[in-house]
Amino acid sequence: MTATNIVISPKHQAIHVVTDAASYDRNGVLAGFVPKFYTVPGWPGGIAVRGMTIATPVLGYELTNAFATFDDIVECIEVVLPSMVNRWQLNNHIELLLVGFSESRGGPEAYVIETTDQTPIGVPEGTKGDYLPEPFVLQRLPNVIVGPVIPGEIVMEAWFEGLSEDDEPAVLKNKLCKVIEMQRHALFDDGIHWIGGYAQHSTITREGITQCLLQDWRSQDQIGQMIKPAPIDWPRWNVAHGFSPGCRLAGG
């Protein structure tokens, strides 16, 4: 289970993508730290990958060399992706999230496409998220996506006010930092913490792509062990990160 949070902001003509970097086996044992968002400066845009670790560089390279523009990949990925998956024998579940600017439709967009009908790691068997399509069917996403979904009790404990596509960039960056920290501390139905390593924030505009670290947990997360986040005091965390003790962002 990879944290993949996306905010499409037509108002600011920007795309924000926040991913974690933990790579692990199906039991949640940490194997390493890898970036999970493949940037494509030429579009500009990128591909976020959930599932097999090797899929990020392999499919990122293949797809960006196959398509010169974001509109091209949106139009043709359903046709070419099955052969790429077969050629590289990527048999386990992979989820690709495409983000970029459509010249034909005039703005920033996000899409999802799956390679199997398998249940992703960390998702209860027999269930799928509301936005997951059938294999190799491209589906457009809403402007705000938080994945995995944060349990309600953590949202309440953290006094989280939610994300908005109209948030100012500095406010949104702070909120996204809080989102992935909540995801890190969530225990999902399998009783495992899945979010770790570090949190990378990619900001995409028509002018280019910038990236930064929102959080760095590598001193806590040990290779060969399961992720065990340090206890968090949410009121103290909120104040330290520019939030009031309640749910409103200072200056927001």
pLDDT tens per residue across span 30-59: 999 999 999 999 999 999 999 888 888 899
Q: Is 208 within a domain?
A: yes
Alpha carbon separation from 163 to 7, 69, 167, 208 (Å, rounded): 8, 29, 7, 23
pLDDT (0 to 100) of residue 205: 97
Q: Is a pLDDT exceeding 80 seen at residue 128?
A: no
For residue 246, is it within any domain? no
Domain assignment present for residue 207? The answer is yes
Long-range contacts of 205-212 (CB under 8 A, 24+ apart): 205/13, 205/14, 205/15, 205/44, 206/13, 206/44, 206/101, 207/44, 208/41, 208/44, 209/39, 209/41, 209/44, 209/46, 211/39
Work out how many domains the chain is built from and give that number. 1
Q: pLDDT tens digits, residue range 204-251?
A: 999 999 999 999 999 999 999 999 999 999 999 999 998 876 544 433
Of 91-100, 181-190, 218-227, the range with the lowest mean pLDDT is 181-190
Q: Which candidate, 58, 66, 53, places its Cα nearest to that of 19?
A: 53
User: CA 156 to CA 213: how far, in whole Å?
Assistant: 25
Cα angle 236, 242, 248; round to 5: 90
Residue 140's SS3 state is: strand
Quick one: pLDDT at residue 248? 45
Q: Is residue 251 part of a domain?
A: no
- Domain holding 98, by residue range, is 4-240
pTM over 0.85: yes
Q: What percent of the chain has pLDDT over 70?
A: 91
Convert the pLDDT of each residue in 5-15 to its tens digit. Answer: 999 999 999 99
159: left (phi over 0), alpha (psi -120 to 50) or beta: left
In-domain check, residue 248: no
Structure tokens at 103: 């010249």
What is the three-class DSSP state of 237?
Answer: helix
In this structure, of 22-31, 37-46, 120-129, 182-191, the range with the lowest mean pLDDT score is: 120-129
H or E element at residue 158: helix 152-158
| pLDDT reported for residue 122 | 53
The answer to whether 111 and 141 have CB atoms below 8 angstroms apart is: yes
Q: Is residue 135 part of a domain?
A: yes
Residue 62 belongs to some domain of the structure: yes
Instruction: List pLDDT tens digits, range 58-86.
Output: 998 999 889 999 999 999 999 999 999 99
CATH number at residue 206: 3.60.20.10
Q: Is residue 131's pLDDT more than 80?
A: no
Q: What is the pLDDT of residue 130?
A: 55
User: Is residue 245, in this structure, part of any structural domain at all?
Assistant: no
